[in-house]
Copies of this chain bind each other. A is one copy, B any other.
Amino acid sequence: MDEEILKKYGDVDTCPVRNILDRFGDKWSTLVLLVLGEKEKLRFNELNKCIQTISQKMLTVTLKKLETDGLVNRTIYPHVPPKVEYELTDLGRSLLPNLQNLVKWANDNIDEIKTNRTKIG
């Protein structure tokens, strides 16, 4: 076997890629980051409406994870009714171009992929 590859992707604990993938390989994280990248700041319910099918629960969970990782910043305005705004941190913004490249690739190639899927295995 190729020792080089092993070192690069082998170990779950030390491999940054796998560490990151474990985090963003969920249903919503990437999408939330992309939507936040479209605006300076967004309120909770605005996010909820942008990502049509996300549940309130999953939006909360996802935002909390992203906040923990330092990718998203959360600001509470002590109003009644409460107002909470979310925005990308510098770290979050540094990730954004990579995700947007993925978006571009997806848009460019989705037709081909869909065609492939319909072919007989």
Which A residues contact B (CB, under 8 angstroms)? Answer: 1-2, 4-6, 8-12, 16-22, 24-27, 30-31, 34-35, 38-39, 46, 49-53, 67-71, 91, 94-95, 98, 101-103, 105-107, 109-110, 112-113, 116-117, 121
Contacts and interface: CB of A to CB of B under 8 A. Distances in A.
Contacts of A24: 25
Nearest to A4: B38
Contacts of A31: 9, 17-18, 21
Nearest to A89: B116
Contacts of A12: 52-53
Given A31-B17, A101-B98, A102-B98, A49 B6 contact: yes
A117 B68 contact: yes
Contact of A105 (B95, B107, B110): B95
Most B Cβ at <10 Å: residue of A38, A70, A106: A106
A20 B121 CA distance: 20
Contact of A109 (B21, B67, B94, B121): B94
Ranked nearest first, the 4 interchain pairs of A and B with the lowest CB-CB distance are A70-B116, A16-B110, A20-B106, A16-B106
